[in-house]
Structure 1
Amino acid sequence: MRNPLVLAGLALLLMAAATPAAVGQVKPFPPSFQTRDIATNGVTLHVRVGGTGPAVVLLHGYGETGDMWEPLAVELMRDHRVIVPDLRGLGLSGKPATGYDKKTQGQDIAGLLDTLKVDRADVVAHDIGNMVGYAFVAEHRDRVRRFVLMDAPVPGIGPWDEILKSPMLWHFHFGGPDMERLVAGRERIYLDRFWNDFSADPRRFSEADRRHYARLYALPGAMHAGFAQFAAFDQDARDNQAFLAQGKLTMPVLAIGGEKSFGPTMAVVMRAAATNVTGLVIPDAGHWLMEEQPKATIAAVRAFVDAAP
């Protein structure tokens, strides 16, 4: 199903994508955003909250933190209440030893919204955030109006087994007793592989961004938590198959892929799990959509969340 307002808005983003993307850097959220540490579900989440209006939750992925969303958050806060957590174990959130399966992290988000007294929200996600977002949405379908996923698979959904065979996803299988020791003090080298290999043009992931995130991933427990996110994928696949057995998602879903990365496969994944999916490919972009093509990505999200229910 395609809403005419969504299609009109998406046409605007294609115009934006025609212009070269500026090389950005992580900016602090505006002072009007509150920064809070909220205890829920056995973890303390570092959260930015700003704006008023219908709620929208922004879920980041691996190699970044909630800081990645600053340009989109500034745009949406004009008429939305924007909620931006760091996921369990990442950024400035707590780093417990366990709980990195995405069903548990979806429950983190549900508890966060309970604390903020938010009954219903849109969800916008990228990378690992897609997986946390799907678990939250699938378990709390009545709490989500619209769902945006960007450029990453969902364990156990659609062509998951084929996706796992890609040599580009070697890090999904990187494990063993020495993995943390191997990257200790070398976090920047490890993360550069993702920022470089998954970009259409690595120069678009700025040096300032790289330094910022490398510092956060060098915090005690952060790399352990990152590896635990991947180690949970088998459990995530089982949980997601159980969610899917309850029926496909019925709220509107926007599945965005970067032209040089997931491309149209993002929509293929979500059509296996949802009945009302709009697929979109951002031109001249790899995986890091907010860094590589921020104008086009923001325009796409804005048009989708602005569409009538």
Structure 2
Amino acid sequence: MTMHDHRGHPLTSDRTTLGDVTLHHHSGGSGPAVVLLHGIPKTSHHWRLLVPHLTPDHAVVVPDLRGFGDSSHPVDGYDVATLADDIAALMATLGHQQYAVVGEDWGAVVGYQLAARHRDQVTSLTFIEALMPGFGFEDHTLLSPENTQGLFLPHVGFYFMPDLPELLIAGHERELVEATITGERTVPGSAPAEVIDEYVRCYSHPDGIRSLLSVYRAMLTDAEQNRRARQQPLRVPVLAIGGNAFIGSRNEEVMKLLAQDVRGHVFNCGHDPAEEVPDEVAGVLVPFLAP
């Protein structure tokens, strides 16, 4: 779907081949570069409401991650380090030698790895509504009275099973996407039918669900990669954003384990602040990104 800048002009939509993957991406605006990384089960379309706040002063790049949206679906490469290296290669190919990184959900974990692996390129990290493999994510997959009353993620263990998730989800992509998206939001009207339709279109690709499951199945590898990266804490500024009905202040807590300069903000919303309260997010993000 078309994404627009602050003047209502459509962003450029293109595809760039980088080794074993072809990444679809939107781009527009001018100024210091910022790349926006989506989570699951979403695509680059997640950022459509935030982009017009950024394009007046930034060159914005909004890719679909490997295996998602209109990017290609390689067989492997779904660990967060490889996903991060894809984005670094894309930004270099587009001519951006330095850039800010904004990530949400799994895209925030990819963003952390991008900042850790490409320190000379990344100028700041915004980490939105994500749990970090290796630093507490796994705790929320365990069945316990505390988790069932708070943040419990039963789908993670299911996704790890070989073959069965693919069999059961096939033909039910809409039910999975709609239940996940609507179940994690608290702001009425933030998941309109046309947005659900766009996400369903992408995840109904023959390899769409396989790619989603591959990301989860790489989580133990991700945990090892994150623990190694922590040995050298990030020095760039980090903005940790949460929704009070979901991960909330845990975003700031975990990033303080991984970075030296962390500030946090919690909004009155669920798991998807950029779609639930985009104007409020922009009010915090734009000043943070200002040179």
Establish whether TM, by shorter chain, passes 0.5.
yes
Per the alignment, residue 168 of structure 2 pairs with 182
The amino acid of 1:275's aligned partner reads Q
Instruction: Establish whether residue 290 from structure 1 lines up as the match of residue 274 from structure 2.
Output: yes
Distance of 2:3 and 2:138 partners within structure 1? 39
> 1:253 pairs with 200, 223, 238, which one?
238
CA shift for structure 1 position 170: 1.6
Equivalent residue pairs, number: 279
Cα deviation digits, residues 110-157 of structure 1 (max 9, x gap): 110111111110001101101111111110112111110111112113
Alignment partner of 1:53 is 2:52: no
Establish whether residue 230 from structure 1 lines up as the match of residue 216 from structure 2: yes
Q: CA offsets per residue over residues 182-239 of structure 1, 9 Å max, x none? A: 1111101111221122112464312221122111110120110001111110000001
Query: After superposition, what is the alpha-carbon deviation per residue over 1:8-44, rounded to whole angstroms, capped at 9, x for unaligned?
Result: xxxxxxxxxxxxxxxxxx7633545221100114200
Contact kept in structure 1, 2:3 and 2:10, CA below 8 Å: no
SS of the residue corresponding to residue 226 of structure 1 reads helix
* SS of the residue 1:87 aligns to: coil
CA root-mean-square deviation: 1.6
Task: Tell me, yes or no, if structure 1 residue 215 matches structure 2 residue 190.
Answer: no
Matched to 2:274, the amino acid is M
Paired letter, 2:102? V
Note the residue ranges of structure 1 that are not aligned, 5 or more in a row.
1-25
Q: Distance in 1 between matches of 2:169 and 2:139?
A: 28
The answer as to 2:93 corresponding to 1:108 is no
Distance (Å, rounded) in 2 between the aligned partners of 1:114 and 1:291: 28
**Cα distance in structure 2, aligned partners of 1:278 and 1:163:** 24
Q: Which residue pairs with 2:123 in the alignment?
A: 145
Q: Do 2:36 and 2:102's aligned partners in 1 also have CA atoms closer than 8 Å?
A: yes
- TM-score, normalised to structure 2's length? 0.91
CA distance in 2, matches of 1:149, 1:156: 16
Is 2:24 the counterpart of 1:29?
Answer: no
1:205: which partner in 2? 191
Q: Does 1:262 align with 2:247?
A: yes
What amino acid sits opposite 2:111 in the alignment? Answer: G
1:68 matched residue in structure 2: 46
Provide the rounded CA distance (Å) in 1 between the counterparts of 2:187 and 2:46.
Answer: 18
Q: CA deviation at 1:162?
A: 2.5
The letter for the 2-side match of 1:294 is P
The match for 2:265 among 280, 298, 307 is 280
Gaps of 5+ in 2: none
| Cα distance in structure 1, aligned partners of 2:16 and 2:236 | 28
SS of the aligned residue for 2:258 comes to: coil
Code of the aligned partner of 1:296: E
Equivalent position of 1:10 in the other structure: none
- Answering whether residue 83 of structure 2 is matched by residue 83 of structure 1, we say no
2:155 alignment partner in structure 1: 171
Q: Distance in 2 between matches of 1:195 and 1:272?
A: 29
- Aligned residue for 2:50, secondary structure, equals helix
Distance of 1:29 and 1:221 partners within structure 2: 28
Matched letter for residue 267 of structure 1: E
- Measure the CA separation in 2 of the matches of 1:32 and 1:67: 13
Match of 2:137 in 1: 160
| Secondary structure of 1:256 counterpart | strand
For the residue of structure 1 that corresponds to 2:48, the secondary structure is helix
Task: State the distance in 2 between where 1:41 and 1:280 align.
Answer: 38
What's the CA shift for 1:268?
0.6
Partners in 2 of 1:89 and 1:262 — Cα distance? 25
| 1:41–1:108 Cα contact (<8 Å) kept | no
Distance 1:219 1:269 in 2: 34
Deviant stretches of 4+, over 6 Å: none
Measured in 1, the distance between the counterparts of 2:191 and 2:223 equals 30
Q: TM-score, normalised by structure 1?
A: 0.86
